[in-house]
Structure 1
Amino acid sequence: MNKTWWKILASVLVIYTAIAGLLMGVPRLAILNETIRNLYFHVPMWFAMIVLFSISVYYSIRSLSSKSEIDDMKAVESVNAGIIFGLLGLVTGAIWAKYTWGQFWSFDPKQNFAAISVLLYFAYLILRNAIDEEQKRAKISAIYNIFAFPMMVVLLFVLPRLKDSLHPGNGGNPGFNSYDLDSRMRMVFYPACLGWILIGYWVYTIRFRVRAIENTINTPQIEDRKGDNSL
């Protein structure tokens, strides 16, 4: 129970978010109207992605000093999990845009920079697959990851503010700030953020365990091949 309580909490929070997010009342804001409910799903996906990428850069920094294969595995699997939530963030945002702006993709600055942020981490995975030698792959990908994280922060939080945007909170459009969120929405939004972040961490731990098991299974095979070659 001590190891699973947070998984139970994550499940309860996400179920609560889905039910309350669709049934509880929301403020009627110009432009947004009922689409404001997407806040409970779209924004938490990005928060989960950022937390997972933060975990990844932490283990990338550790792997440079420890040279540990475990740290390298944790870094790449947290990126894999983070990309899942990044894609979910793009999809939920595109669906919202269809009903609010009239099209799935309007090349809005925030849409474009968010897509580039996710592509940065696809490039990280491609880089890893392009390098065969394990130590070299771990070192180069860790360095790339360390630089990719601040670039992602700039793309998501800095550059979009320099241009006008249709996105809520820009260009005079209602946003998801303290003035637009009422107490009803806070009762769903904050649990939603925590719930999806925990779900994201759960996905990461599952991926890491699967990767560790695969490595354990494959390692004896590699050693057997080396033994056969020496005969």
Structure 2
Amino acid sequence: MPLCWCCRCCYFPICGEVNMTMKKNWWKALAVVIMTYVIWVGLLGTVPRQPILNESIRNVYFHVPLWFSMIILMLTSMIYSIRYLRKGRMDDDHISVEFANSAILYGILGCATGSLWASVTWGDPWPNDPKLNSVAVGMLMYFAYLILRNSFDDELRRARISAIYNIFAFAVFVPLIFILPRLTDSLHPGNGGNPAFGKYDMDSGMRLVLYPSVIGMTLLGVWITQLRVRLRRLRDRLDHVNDALPKAHSTAE
């Protein structure tokens, strides 16, 4: 049935807005599709049978991508800290801290999945292992970053000092978990001669799930960060409005 002229006037602008929204948010749909695929295939797909690991090898699809995505989010947070120091825009500081928050969330989930995995394969949720101890130190550094931010009342001073600390923390975190543990023996894969994710160390079928999982979790982390940045902007606007109301009231009197 043909649309009347008023329906057409409403229909086409709405369609245009929907199309623009879909073009902007395509990566969110991609994240949902990828994570649905990873969860479905990761939990129900076939995996190679390995002694000791058995079915726990499926944790590779979740534990490992969490750490890779965490590093990407930390790197992005550091980049926005540098941008803030160069340009002085508070929005860059907001984006930086929210990327750091998302990275810390991924780090906590990575530690949780790793502890569960270690309890199954090594018989101890947190053995005295160089890799795990380095991760613990690195995570404490980022917890200290959040504590540091909350210790300043002045907004500009908080943003400037925390940006400098964020750059320092990332510069220390990467060699702490990727380089130093490789210099000694470790239970963790990829250290002390243990196989990891090299060309001959992983089944090719598992790569078809592992690599998309890294992409999907990274996109999901960006999505979470975007939502938190929007909430932070709304809170800032409300604070400015609340601060302006008493001034306007006193001026009116």
TM tier, smaller: over 0.9
Asked if structure 2 preserves the Cα contact closer than 8 Å seen for 1:24 and 1:184, the reply is: no
Structure 1 portions without partners, runs of 5+: none
- 1:73 and 2:68 are equivalent in the alignment: no
Pick 1 or 2: higher relative contact order, CA cutoff 8 A, min separation 6.
Answer: 1
* Residues 148-195 of structure 1 deviation map (CA, whole Å, 9 limit, x = unaligned): 111110111011111211112334434232212122101111111111
Further displaced range: 115-124 or 82-91: 115-124
* Residues 75-105 of structure 1 deviation map (CA, whole Å, 9 limit, x = unaligned): 1111111111010110010010010001211
How far the C-alpha of 1:219 sits from its partner, in A, is 0.8
How far the C-alpha of 1:226 sits from its partner, in A, is 5.0
How far the C-alpha of 1:28 sits from its partner, in A, is 2.5
How far the C-alpha of 1:229 sits from its partner, in A, is 7.6
- Cα separation, 1, equivalents of 2:194 and 2:43: 23
- 1:188 and 2:190 are equivalent in the alignment: no
How far the C-alpha of 1:223 sits from its partner, in A, is 2.6
- Cα separation, 2, equivalents of 1:64 and 1:167: 37
- Cα separation, 2, equivalents of 1:159 and 1:197: 25
How far the C-alpha of 1:71 sits from its partner, in A, is 0.6
Match of 2:81?
Answer: 60
Per the alignment, in what secondary structure is the counterpart of residue 12 of structure 1? Answer: helix
- Cα separation, 2, equivalents of 1:208 and 1:76: 9
- Cα separation, 2, equivalents of 1:119 and 1:93: 17
How far the C-alpha of 1:111 sits from its partner, in A, is 1.0
Alignment of 1:1-231 (within 5 A): 1-225=22-246
- Cα separation, 1, equivalents of 2:198 and 2:48: 13
- Cα separation, 1, equivalents of 2:247 and 2:179: 51
Per the alignment, in what secondary structure is the counterpart of residue 127 of structure 2? Answer: coil
Shift in CA distance, 153/110, structure 1 to aligned 2, threshold 3 Å? same
Q: Using the aligned pairs only, state the percent identity.
A: 52
How far the C-alpha of 1:66 sits from its partner, in A, is 1.2
Shift in CA distance, 132/116, structure 1 to aligned 2, threshold 3 Å? same
Structure 2 portions without partners, runs of 5+: 1-21
- Cα separation, 1, equivalents of 2:248 and 2:173: 45
| Residue identity matched to 2:62 | F
Asked if structure 2 preserves the Cα contact closer than 8 Å seen for 1:81 and 1:204, the reply is: yes
Compute the RMSD of aligned alpha carbons.
1.6
* Residues 112-164 of structure 1 deviation map (CA, whole Å, 9 limit, x = unaligned): 11121111111111001001111111111111111111111011101111121
Q: Give the alignment's TM-score, normalised by structure 2.
A: 0.86
Q: Which structure has the greater CA radius of gyration?
A: 2
How far the C-alpha of 1:107 sits from its partner, in A, is 2.4
Report how many aligned residue pairs link the two structures.
231
